[in-house]
Amino acid sequence: MSDFVMPSLGADMETGTLVEWRVAPGDRVRKGQVVAVVETDKGAIDIEVFEDGVVEKIYVDPDAEVPVGTPLARIGAGTDARQAGIESSMADAGAEDGGDAKATGRLKPESESESEPEPEPESEPASRPKTEAQRASRPGHGVPPASPAARMRARETGLDLADVQGSGPDGAIVLKDVEAALPDTEIETGARRRRAGFDATEMRRTIAAAMSRSKREIPHYYLATTMDLAAAESWLDNYNHDRPPAERILLSALFMKATALALARHRTLNGHYGDDGFVPADTVNVGMAIHLRGGGLVAPAILDTDTLALPELMVRLQDLVQRARDGGLRGSEIASASATVTALGERGVDSVWGVIHPPQVSMIGFGRPRRQPVAIGDALAVRLAVEVSLAADHRVCDGHLGALFLGEIERQLQQPENL
Amino acid sequence: MNRQQLRQAILEELAGIAPDIDTANVSDNARLRDEYDLDSMDALNLLTALHQRLGISIPERDYARMYTIGDLLEYLGEQSEH
């Protein structure tokens, strides 16, 4: 039994507005099932549950804006149907006092979530380290538990966290509490940032916040090299030749896969940098920077990119782009990227120098694949080639590793049949 | 299917991929990639949609030579006569 909580869908997200429940008390849910829709500054995001079970109680009503980490519903074991039925009627009865549940949504209702083993620790890397950091900092040190954003804001503004009343889970101090303790002018900025609903201005603000933080905190280093695509092009031509459009593969799928395999080999570039320093991710979830028609940018991830065969990866890529533009991105896709690829070459530029998306530590950029003169042995040949760049976090690794990493991507691209 | 119907089919599928395009005022000579900001995935989705709708599978090598709606119209017109 455990609580299903408001997930963190990005480094700068402090609250989310629950807009819709897709399940009701008594419903059986499966791991990965979309159970709720949450409105964030990235638009409406589908939120999945990370375990099998039965929805026993819903704590938060639609339209409620709650801090990240707030329990939204209780998911029980529900191992037999009879129990599920009983729990269901209990939950229905409990639903009467919905207003009460909403008011107490911040409280941790039961103690079970602490003792229950988490089935999928790798599923929410963005929120996990935060929780652990809170636990680690709690006892004995006189430091109140606080979210990283709250701590950062307190540092920025010179506020002592000991003077702040926490309203998060277990009394943790969240960004909202820090802002409440600040003078009026500061609150206004925060209130504007927390406004729910998607619009271009809001998205621009989100991008501005994340990128400013990146440039402020992350000491980027940059490397680039030109990679020969002759082998990849010829393999792709051959693969696509007799296939209908629906089954064809694009070069960008090869780029994603080659990058994922290189990340799997060089784990120091694949993970998140939090309050406790760098934590490598257990899985390789490559984020894909997707330009939204009409303005804006999102970078949802393809989970376990390194394990997917190219045709499957291609289908996922198309699906991801479609959902990024039409809505229906999932929480796990938004929050779990362990590194990001940007392929701006589609727009006709030869190279792109990425800005790392915190808390990630690397951004890989693919420029425009184009035919160019290349020395092959003693002769000059015209080959399809692409400039690939790496922006990486110098707090985590050095250019030496970055060079090995780019070399690995190049090696992978020379053997497209093995991708 | 005459040229006008074919054009209509292309524009409808294009609108499905890029809803922001004002299909009433599209020029047949405008370059899809540059003027309408279609990337390679948009282009592939357009080919897939046209294949499903018209039963004509445009090979990639042929598509690489098509830059405008006019080019597409001409190609599809020839193919649908066979």
Number of domains in chain B: 1
Question: Is residue A158 within 8 angstroms of chain B, CB to CB?
Answer: no
Q: Which residue has the higher pLDDT, B45 or A122?
A: B45
Percentage above 90 pLDDT, chain A:
41
pLDDT reported for residue A196 = 35
CB-neighbour burial class of residue A368 (10 A; exposed 0-12, middle 13-18, buried 19+): middle
Q: What is the pLDDT of residues A347-383, one digit of tens each?
A: 789 999 999 999 999 999 999 999 999 888 999 999 9
Question: Is residue A371 within 8 angstroms of chain B, CB to CB?
Answer: no
* Tokens standing for residue A180: 């409440």
Q: What is the CATH number of domain A2-120?
A: 2.40.50.100
Parallel, antiparallel, or unpaired for β A277-280 and A271-274? antiparallel
pLDDT reported for residue A101 = 37
Q: Do B44 and A251 touch (CB under 8 A)?
A: no
The answer, yes or no, to whether residue A279 has pLDDT greater than 70, is yes
Q: What is the pLDDT of residues A113-160, one digit of tens each?
A: 444 444 444 444 444 444 444 433 333 344 567 666 666 667 666 677
Q: Which residue has the higher pLDDT, A264 or A321?
A: A264
Question: Is residue B47 within 8 angstroms of chain A, CB to CB?
Answer: yes
The answer, yes or no, to whether residue A310 has pLDDT greater than 80, is yes
The answer, yes or no, to whether residue A406 has pLDDT greater than 80, is yes
* Tokens standing for residue A192: 């504007």
Rounded to the nearest 10°, the torsion over CA A380, A386, A392, A397 is: -40
pLDDT reported for residue B82 = 62
Q: What is the CATH number of domain A131-192?
A: 4.10.320.10
Residues 27-46 of B with CB under 8 A from A: 37, 39-41, 44-45
CATH superfamily entry for domain A219-418? Chloramphenicol acetyltransferase-like domain (3.30.559.10)
Q: What whole-number distance in Å separates Cα of residue A90 and Cα of residue A74?
A: 12
Give domain limits for chain A. Answer: 2-120, 131-192, 219-418
Q: Do B57 and A244 touch (CB under 8 A)?
A: yes
Q: DSSP code of A50?
A: S
Q: What whole-number distance in Å separates Cα of residue A124 and Cα of residue A135?
A: 17
Instruction: Name every chain B residue with its beta carbon within 8 A of the beta carbon of A248.
Output: 44, 60
Q: The domain spanning residue B51 has which CATH number?
A: 1.10.1200.10
Instruction: Name every chain B residue with its beta carbon within 8 A of the beta carbon of A240.
Output: 60
Instruction: Name every chain A residue with its beta carbon within 8 A of the beta carbon of B61.
Output: 237
Question: Is residue B81 within 8 angstroms of chain A, CB to CB?
Answer: no
Q: What whole-number distance in Å separates Cα of residue A335 and Cα of residue A304?
A: 14
Q: What is the pLDDT of residues A69-93, one digit of tens each?
A: 888 998 888 654 444 444 444 444 4
Residues 56-75 of B with CB under 8 A from A: 57-61
Say yes or no: do domains A2-120 and A131-192 share a fold: no
Q: Which domain holds residue B50?
A: 3-81
Question: Which value does ipTM take for this structure?
Answer: 0.87
Q: Which residue has the higher pLDDT, A104 or A201?
A: A201
pLDDT reported for residue A123 = 43
* Tokens standing for residue A163: 């003077």
Instruction: Name every chain B residue with its beta carbon within 8 A of the beta carbon of A252.
Output: 40-41
Residues 265-294 of A with CB under 8 A from B: 293-294
Residue A183: asked if its preceding bond is cis (omega within 30°), the reply is no
Q: What whole-number distance in Å separates Cα of residue A103 and Cα of residue A108?
A: 12
